[in-house]
Amino acid sequence: MKKAIGVPDLPTVGPYSPAIRAGDFLFISGQIPVDAAGKLVPGGIEEQARRAMENLKSVLAAAGASLKDLVKVTIYLVDMDDFAAVNRVYGSYFDLDPPARACVAVKALPKGARVEIEAVAYVGDG
Catalogue all structural domains in the chain, each as residue range(s) with its CATH number: 2-122 (3.30.1330.40)
Query: pTM for the full model?
Result: 0.95
What's the pLDDT tens digit per position in 62-114? 999 999 999 999 999 999 999 999 999 999 999 889 999 999 999 999 999 99
Per the CB < 8 A criterion, the answer to whether 44 and 53 are in contact is no
CA atoms within 13 A of residue 50's CA, in its CB half-sphere = 11
Instruction: Compute the distance between CA of residue 96 and CA of residue 109 in angstroms, rounded to an integer.
Output: 30
Band (11; pLDDT cuts 50, 70, 90): confident
Give how far Cα 71 sits from Cα of 62, 74, 109, Å: 18, 11, 24
- pLDDT score for 1: 83
Strand partners, 4: 20
